[in-house]
Amino acid sequence: MRFASSLIATLALVATTVLASSHQDKKPHHPKHEKPIVIDKKVFNTGKIPFHPNTGSALFTNWVGLTLDYKYVKPVFDLVNATASLNNNTALLSRGEAHITVILPPEYDNILHPAGVTIEELNKIAVDPKRPLQKARFGVECLGRVQVVSKPDNVYQQAVQIILKDFQDIVAYRQKVWELFVKKGGNPALFDAGNFLPHITLGFKHRDIFVEDGVFKGKNACIHSLIAK
Ligand SMILES: *[C@@H]1O[C@H](CO)[C@@H](O)[C@H](O)[C@H]1NC(C)=O
Ligand SMILES: *[C@@H]1O[C@H](CO)[C@@H](O)[C@H](O)[C@H]1NC(C)=O
């Protein structure tokens, strides 16, 4: 009996090993070998676009963003929305505008605001003439896609975005916010300037999905190469 169960355990181990290696054999996605999607490099010229404050009295209405010119983002949305391999056969909804979220609504509502940091203070740091947020430099990493079955409604959700890289200027803004937060007595452990996955949301099915849903919009989510030209 003991022999039989250890045999079964061995067989199970062999089976999982075979499954694991066959999974590894599956051709991984190599975005580099594909024809890249191109976004107009004018998308980086954000310095002349006015900073747009996002303030409100309800939850999730206070956040900080870097506004982009949607004119340069829309062609990428249209391509993704028209290409089944990129959108997984899902027509996507668009917000009709483009931005990079820099301070997320839950960061403001749950962490910064309870420590006495106001949205007006965050907006003031953003328009500091020494380091205006709208002039922050950033680069594009790839086209990303995340999906999850949301809880508790049990709905398949998908969101497509441009994943960013080289966003030190944006982290520098967040570092200023952290300094203000700590100066006001906030617990330094609760806000990390660098723990942040900036991206440009292109579109989604039903609704956008976030870290709170369990998805990470970093390099891990790349599905296709994308370059600025
Ligand atoms: C594609 O969409 C279907 C549902 O329509 C889903 O079951 C599947 O997991 C999706 N694949 C990916 C990679 O998102
Ligand atoms: C996305 O594509 C669908 C067709 O598959 C179209 O009906 C819809 O209008 C497109 N969405 C936008 C925002 O253009």
The mean predicted confidence, pLDDT, of the chain is 89
Q: Is the pLDDT of residue 118 over 90?
A: yes
Please, which residues have CB within 8 angstroms of residue 83's CB and are 6 or more apart in sequence? none
Cβ–Cβ under 8 Å, residues 224 and 31: yes
pLDDT of residue 30: 52
pLDDT digits (tens, 9 = 90+) for 181-194: 999 999 999 999 99
Q: Is the CB of 156 under 6 A from ligand 1?
A: yes
The amino acid that residue 177 corresponds to is V
pLDDT on residue 34: 77
Tens-place pLDDT, residues 15-38: 433 344 444 444 445 555 679 999
Over 80: is that where the pLDDT of 196 sits? Answer: yes
pLDDT for res 103: 98
Q: Whose CA is nearest to atom 2 of ligand 1?
A: 88
Residues with CB under 6 A from ligand 2: 81, 91-92, 94
Give the tens place of pLDDT for each residue, 52-111.
999 999 999 999 999 999 999 999 999 999 999 999 999 999 999 999 999 999 999 999
**Secondary structure percentages of the chain, helix, strand, coil, to 5:** 40, 25, 35
Mutate to test the pocket of ligand 1, among 147, 157, 209, 223 (most ligand atoms within 8 A of CB): 147
3-class state of residue 106 by DSSP: helix
pTM value is 0.85
